[in-house]
Amino acid sequence: MKPERQALMREIVTLLQAIAPELESDTLEPQRPLRQQLDLDSMDWLNFLVSLHQRFKVEIPESDYAQLVSLNDVGDYVSARLV
Amino acid sequence: MIDFKLPSLGADMDEGTLLSWHVQPGDRVKRGQVVAVVDTSKAAVDVEIWNDGVVAELKVAPGEKVPVGTVLATLREVGEMTESGPARQTQPSPVITRHPVSPLARKRARELGIDPDAVSGTGAQGSVTLADVEAAAQVRPAVTGKPAEPAAVDRQKEMRRAIAAAMSRSKREIPHYYLSETIPMALALAWLQERNKDLPITERILPAALLIKAVALALQRTPQLNGFFRDGAFQPSSTVHAGVAISLRGGGLVAPAIHAVETLPLMEVMSTLGDLVRRARAGSLRSSEMSDPTITITNLGDQGAEAVFGVIYPPQVALVGFGSMALRPWVNSGKLHALPLLTATLAADHRVSDGHQGALFLVELRDLLQKPQTLAQACTTPEEPCRNPP
Domains parsed from chain A with CATH numbers: 3-19+33-81 (1.10.1200)
Cβ contact (<8 Å) for A47 and B274? yes
> Tens digits of per-residue pLDDT, B53-92?
999 999 999 999 999 889 999 999 876 655 444 444 433 3
Q: Is A24 on the interface with B (CB under 8 A)?
A: no
Question: Does the structure show a pLDDT above 50 at B242?
Answer: yes
Question: What CATH number has the domain bearing residue B150?
Answer: 4.10.320.10
- The reply to whether B104 and B166 lie within a common domain is yes
Is B77 in contact with B7 (CB distance < 8 Å)? no
Any domain includes B390: no
Question: Does the structure show a pLDDT above 50 at B366?
Answer: yes
- The reply to whether B160 and B202 lie within a common domain is no
Q: Is A60 on the interface with B (CB under 8 A)?
A: yes
Averaging pLDDT over each range in B36-40, B161-165, B369-373, which range is the top one?
B369-373
Q: What is the pLDDT along chain A (83 residues), one digit of tens a residue?
A: 778 888 999 999 999 988 888 888 778 899 999 998 888 888 889 989 999 999 999 999 988 998 999 999 999 999 998 86
- The reply to whether B48 and B143 lie within a common domain is no
Cβ contact (<8 Å) for A35 and B303? yes
Cβ contact (<8 Å) for A22 and B130? yes
Any domain includes B338: yes
Q: Is B274 on the interface with A (CB under 8 A)?
A: yes
Tell me the chain A residues in contact with residue B281 when contact means C-beta distances shorter than 8 Å: 19, 21, 44
| Rounded CA separation A25/A33 (Å) | 15
pLDDT band at B300 (very low <50, low <70, confident <90, very high): confident
Task: At B298, give phi and psi (nearest 5°).
Answer: -120, 130
Cβ contact (<8 Å) for B281 and A43? no
Lowest mean pLDDT among A14-28, B172-186, B293-307, B372-386: B372-386
Any domain includes B385: no
Last residue of a domain, one of B173, B204, B231: B173
**What percent of chain A is helix, strand and coil (3-state, nearest 5)?**
70, 0, 30
> Tens digits of per-residue pLDDT, B176-224?
999 999 999 999 999 999 999 989 999 999 999 999 999 999 999 999 9
Which residue in B195, B247, B249 has the most chain A C-beta atoms within 10 A of its own C-beta, making it the best mutation to test that interface?
B249
Question: What CATH number has the domain bearing residue B38?
Answer: 2.40.50.100
Question: Does the structure show a pLDDT above 60 at B311?
Answer: yes
What pLDDT is recorded for position B125?
A: 58
Is B163 in contact with B41 (CB distance < 8 Å)? no
B47 Cα to chain A: minimum distance (Å): 23
Q: Is A43 on the interface with B (CB under 8 A)?
A: yes
- The reply to whether B200 and B340 lie within a common domain is yes
Domain boundaries, position B126? 99-173
Any domain includes B387: no
Cβ contact (<8 Å) for A21 and B124? no
Q: Per DSSP, what are the bridge partners of residue B295? A: B242
Last residue of a domain, one of B118, B150, B173: B173
- The reply to whether B311 and B349 lie within a common domain is yes
What pLDDT is recorded for position B126?
A: 64
Any domain includes B263: yes
Any domain includes B91: no
Is A37 in contact with A29 (CB distance < 8 Å)? yes
B191 Cα to chain A: minimum distance (Å): 13
What pLDDT is recorded for position B86?
A: 45
- The reply to whether B242 and B325 lie within a common domain is yes
The mean per-residue pLDDT over the stretch B344-352 comes to 98
Q: Is B204 on the interface with A (CB under 8 A)?
A: yes
Bridging pattern class, strands B242-244 and B257-258: antiparallel
Any domain includes B384: no
Cβ contact (<8 Å) for B249 and A20? yes
Last residue of a domain, one of B123, B145, B173: B173
Task: Write down the mean pLDDT value for chain A.
Answer: 89
- The reply to whether B155 and B18 lie within a common domain is no
